[in-house]
Amino acid sequence: MAQTDYPSKPIRFVVAFAAGGALDYVARTLGAEITKQTKVQVVVDNRPGASGIIAAENVKASSADGYSVLITNMESHVNNLGLFKSLPYDPVRDFQPVGLIASAAAILVGNGRIPAQNFSEFLAYARSEKGGASFGTWGNGTYSHLAIASLGRIEKFSVVTVAYKGETPVVQDLLGGNLSSAMASVLVAKTQTEKGAMRAYAVNGHTRLALMPTVPTFKELGYTDPVLNMRPWFAAYAPAGTPKPVVEKLNALLRNALRDPDVAKSLSDKGFEPIGSSAAEHQKDLNVQIQIFTKVMRDIGIRLE
């Protein structure tokens, strides 16, 4: 009976990263729309740190009743398996996928001071740098780290990766000339390329961006690498054992929110692509991506911590 009344009290969105970031924006946008549609409050609980481990542990230990939902990106449920020797949770065994929420494009950019005007010139520049081209990442083992490591391995140039805690400090050092290149979110890349402070060379995924239509995809440039041809995603998870009817209702709440025209536009304007998959679809994709990315991390030599 309790399941049929769901939701009847506030839902807690446990967000794996700090307030003000991309994931937080997506969670708060969806939470506000779900509150609007159901009259049930969605409370955003930011639990940043340790590549999503802190938030994942919190939800794992929560009641499996649908009122604690992990909102996270692929780091906590895919990348961490290749980065850490052991985790305090199992991404598959300890969680029930609710569904994929959205994906986010990442653009290979260089600061406006390096001589490369386009992608081929960037490759030539990277190969010419003695000791390797400097590249800022959002953290060890993050998508940005895997992307540049994969490109360097394919094109046979050395990369000096500098790990930061998120995108903001990467952008600061890139604009300050302390880094030559990085992967940037769409809004950062768009704003800074229009100012001439950065140059955009290529975007991940299979399609060009409506916000930056002149930037070619890695696929167009001839790459088949799975890292360069996919876009990082955001997803929702409930604790393992959450009843199927509750998971289905949670999924419906998320999908209905994503279908709202204002929500869809708000996310698209920020460079996110709303998706809204089923729980089963995301479970299938998750299993495949775990296999792909753990192999990629071994191949490019990212060490387990």
- For residue 286, what are the domain limits? 11-103+231-299
Are residues 60 and 33 both part of a single domain?
yes
Tell whether 210 is covered by a domain.
no
Are residues 279 and 195 both part of a single domain?
no
> Domain of 285: which CATH number?
3.40.190.150
Tell whether 221 is covered by a domain.
no
pLDDT digits (tens, 9 = 90+) for 253-299: 999 999 999 999 999 999 999 999 999 999 999 999 999 888 888 88
**Among 163, 184, 203, where does a domain finish?**
203
Are residues 97 and 241 both part of a single domain?
yes
Averaged pLDDT, 144-165: 92
Which of 70, 58, 98, 56 is closest to 243 using CA atoms? Answer: 98
Tell whether 305 is covered by a domain.
no
Distance CA 17, CA 25 (A): 10
Does position 2 have pLDDT exceeding 60, yes or no?
Answer: no
Q: State the average pLDDT for the chain.
A: 93
The percent of residues in the chain predicted with pLDDT above 70, rounded, is 98
Are residues 95 and 112 both part of a single domain?
no
Does position 12 have pLDDT exceeding 50, yes or no?
Answer: yes
Averaged pLDDT, 74-92: 93
Instruction: For residue 139, give Cα distances in angstroms to 146, 162, 169, 183, 258.
Output: 10, 8, 11, 12, 29
- Global confidence as pTM: 0.90
Averaged pLDDT, 173-193: 94
Q: What is the pLDDT of residue 164?
A: 87
Are residues 196 and 264 both part of a single domain?
no
The total number of structural domains in the chain stands at 2
**Among 183, 203, 223, where does a domain finish?**
203
Averaged pLDDT, 76-83: 93
Q: What is the pLDDT of residue 1?
A: 45
Are residues 253 and 289 both part of a single domain?
yes
pLDDT digits (tens, 9 = 90+) for 202-225: 999 999 999 999 999 999 999 999
Are residues 85 and 118 both part of a single domain?
no
**Residue 256 and residue 35 in contact, taking contact as beta carbons nearer than 8 Å:** no
Which of 57, 27, 21 is closest to 42 using CA atoms? Answer: 27
Are residues 191 and 142 both part of a single domain?
yes
Tell whether 217 is covered by a domain.
no
Are residues 153 and 187 both part of a single domain?
yes
> Domain of 176: which CATH number?
3.40.190.10
